[in-house]
Amino acid sequence: MSEGSPLWAGRLAGGLDPRILAFSQSLGVDRRLLAHDVRASQAHVRMLGRQGIIDSADAEAIADALEQVTLDEGAADEDVHSLIERQLVARLGETGRRVHAGRSRNDQVAAAFRLWCRDAARDLTGAVAGLQETLVARARADGDLILPGYTHLQRAQPVPLGHHLAAHCVALDRDVVRLRAAHAAADVSPLGAGALAGSSLPIDPDGVARELGFATRFANSIDAVADRDFALDLSYACTVGAVHLSRIAEELVLWTSSEFGFAELDDRVAQGSSMMPQKKNPQVAEHVRGRAAVAIGRLTSLLAVLKGLPLAYNSDLQEDKELVFAQVDGFAGSLGALCLVFEGMRFDGARMAAAADDGMTVATDVAEVLVRDGLPFREAHEQVAARIAAGERFAAPTAAEAIAARNAPGMPGAFRDQLDVIERRIADARAFASS
């Protein structure tokens, strides 16, 4: 195979039109799969050697040479897989041309991508845990500050800051669940499925799967190369996670506004204005919010790619990697940035408390006192509502008392117990992330 000739020279006359190569080429994207393809290719050739499909010495030579593959610039390779085979041939000659026995790019791509997704799901789990840890730390330190809980962005009832931060931690915990599901979805070896029908050579897919640490081997060779559910699951987990972060971000924007004034950003994470000297902008939160929107579109894209595709592999699937890489990068970036923001944030307990104790947020408690006295709740609600409409405000209970009266599990007054539970969940996530 000459420099830059595709893996399928021979059937088609002349070379690919360079404009078409540029159009079809995925190397700029799938170069990130290099390490994963190397691992998978090593497992593959060792299996070829074990099974006697190629010489053991050749197998070892190829496995060693794979270690040396680099992303050399300027090559006209279709993709990272072509690049790898080209370098093997350049280094090993005829021996290098033996690597592709019993496999196709279809299962090769799927294998490298699955390994990548498995790593990404694991790493993201750690990153989610990292934000949870930051939030828990702030909740432990400042959690007794009282602010209004909001519904419809109207002050509803007083809650401790710790309870509010715990709410976000609980949502993030569900992201861990989804990431672990995405990990499990990726944890299936497609190697041996070939183009779609396996191989007539005596390959050993189970052995390859074992060597690569996959939980299992494909159930059906057609599905193995046609399936991108694992990519969807990871993209979905990132999207929902990003949406969770966008809700946190929206609150950061609100809290750091002059009107709320509940928190102030550390200067090292805030942005000024090129024109207005007084500005201190929560641009991190805005980016987090905007990137959640972008994440939604990327999930849409991948779903739309897959819609209506007949089995098995089609080149439409080549879009999958750029979409998933960007999802993972985006989610990881937002998680990390929010950690920095929360670490340096100063809460203004006085502003919060003033908002929470406005004489209105305890109206429900007042009504519930009437219920204890025997009034039907709807009657109590109407009475209290009428008093408020008439201008009355309530001095009792205080926000703190209202919170103290809600100390059952999951309730505002019991947020420290929630933090304990969350920390155990974080420990689980950390254990998984470092597994």
Q: Which amino acid is at 158?
A: P
Phi, psi at 406, each rounded to 5°:
-125, 75
Answer yes or no whether residue 9 interacts with a copy of itself by CB under 8 A.
yes
Cα–Cα distance measured from residue 403 to residue 173, given in angstroms and rounded to the nearest whole number: 24
Does 19 engage in binding with a copy of itself (CB under 8 A)? yes
Between residue 131 and residue 170, which ones bind a copy of itself under the rule CB under 8 A? Answer: 149-159, 163-164, 166-170
336 forms bridges with which residues in the sheet?
Answer: none
When the beta carbons of 300 and 434 are compared against a copy of itself, the nearer one is 300
In the complex, least distance from residue 119 CB atom to a copy of itself, rounded to whole angstroms: 21
Q: Is residue 207 part of the contact set for a copy of itself (CB under 8 A)?
A: no
Question: Do 96 and 86 form a contact (C-beta atoms < 8 A)?
Answer: no
Determine if 56 is a binding residue for a copy of itself (CB under 8 A): no
Angle among Cα 288, 291, 297 to the nearest 5 degrees reads 150
List the end-to-end C-alpha distance of the chain, in Å, as a whole number.
41
* Stretch touching a copy of itself by CB under 8 A, among 119-127, 133-141, 310-318, 426-434: 310-318
Asked if 402 touches a copy of itself (CB under 8 A), the answer is yes
What is the DSSP code string of 263-300?
EE--GGG-B--SS-TT--B-HHHHHHHHHHHHHHHHHH
Cα–Cα distance for residue pair 225/68, rounded to 1 Å:
28
Q: Does 28 bind a copy of itself (CB under 8 A)?
A: no
CB of 188 to a copy of itself, least distance (A): 10
Total residues at interface with a copy of itself (CB under 8 A): 197
Considering only residues 360 to 389 of the shown chain, the ones binding a copy of itself according to CB under 8 A are: 360-361, 363-369, 371-372, 376-379, 381-386, 388-389
The rounded distance, in Å, linking the Cα atoms of 191 and 247 is 40
- Region of 28-36, 65-73, 125-133, 415-423 interacting with a copy of itself (CB under 8 A): 415-423
Rounded CA separation 371/128 (Å) = 43
- Cβ atoms of 347 and 263 within 8 Å: the answer is yes
Shortest separation between residue 426's beta carbon and a copy of itself, angstroms = 13
Positions in 167-196 near a copy of itself (CB under 8 A): 167-171, 173-174, 177-178, 181, 185, 192-196
CB 91 within 8 A of CB 66: no
Q: Measured between alpha carbons, how far is 379 from 385 in angstroms, rounded to an integer?
A: 10
Give the DSSP H/E element, type plus range, for residue 76.
none
Shortest gap between Cβ of 70 and a copy of itself (angstroms)?
A: 21
Report the nearest approach of a copy of itself to the CB of residue 73 (Å).
16
Binding mask 312-331 for a copy of itself (x = CB under 8 A): xxxxxxxx---x--------
395 binds a copy of itself (CB under 8 A): no
Residues 74-113 that bind a copy of itself (CB under 8 A): 78, 81, 85, 89, 94-95, 97-106, 108
Q: Which stretch binds a copy of itself (CB under 8 A): 37-45, 68-76, 128-136, 243-251?
A: 243-251
Q: What is the three-class DSSP state of 65?
A: helix
List the catalytic residue out of 164, 168, 244, 273: 273
Distance CA 341, CA 252 (A): 9
Instruction: Note whether 253 binds a copy of itself by CB under 8 A.
Output: yes
**Helix or strand holding residue 157 (H, E):** strand 154-160
Angle between helices 80-92 and 56-68 (to 10 degrees): 120
Q: CA-CA distance, 149 to 163, in Å (whole number)?
A: 10
- Find the binding residues for a copy of itself in span 109-128 (CB under 8 A): none
Is 273 an active-site residue? yes
Q: Which stretch binds a copy of itself (CB under 8 A): 37-45, 112-120, 121-129, 352-360?
A: 352-360
User: 2, 152, 200, 315: which is the annotated catalytic residue?
Assistant: 152
Catalytic residue positions?
152, 273
